[in-house]
């Protein structure tokens, strides 16, 4: 089973950011995958995550330590039918 990490923050002010975080969470939950939820407002892991992904924006999805993308990327992979394979569902 792949290690899946969803990086968010509960301190997001922008409605658009909160919506994107919620959308990825709902997508992962609907697929029934187990994932670690890292809330950068509660865990001081921002530098660690940024060093892996090269980005500081949220949400971010990582699988087996590899940066998969932001909300737009994840939705694009889902639309193309590639996300299930990345999440180990195929």
Compute mean pLDDT per 10 residues along the chain, 90 residues long, and list them.
91 93 96 95 92 91 94 96 93
pLDDT computed for residue 69 by the predictor: 95
pLDDT computed for residue 26 by the predictor: 96
pLDDT computed for residue 64 by the predictor: 94
C-alpha neighbours within 13 Å on the C-beta side of residue 41: 8
pTM summary value: 0.91
Question: DSSP 3-state assignment of 3?
Answer: coil
pLDDT computed for residue 1 by the predictor: 72
C-alpha neighbours within 13 Å on the C-beta side of residue 53: 24
pLDDT computed for residue 47 by the predictor: 92
Residue-wise DSSP of 11-36: T--SHHHHHHHHHHHHHHHHHT---E
């Amino acid at each position: 089973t792949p290690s899946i990490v969803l990086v968010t923050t509960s301190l997001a002010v922008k409605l658009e950011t909160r919506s994107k975080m919620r959308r990825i969470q709902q997508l992962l939950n609907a697929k029934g995958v187990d994932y670690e939820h890292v809330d950068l407002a509660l865990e001081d892991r921002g530098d660690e995550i940024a060093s892996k992904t090269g980005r500081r924006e949220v949400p971010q999805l990582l699988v087996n330590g590899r940066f998969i993308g932001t909300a737009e990327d994840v939705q694009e992979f889902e639309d193309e039918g590639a996300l299930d394979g990345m999440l180990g569902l195929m």
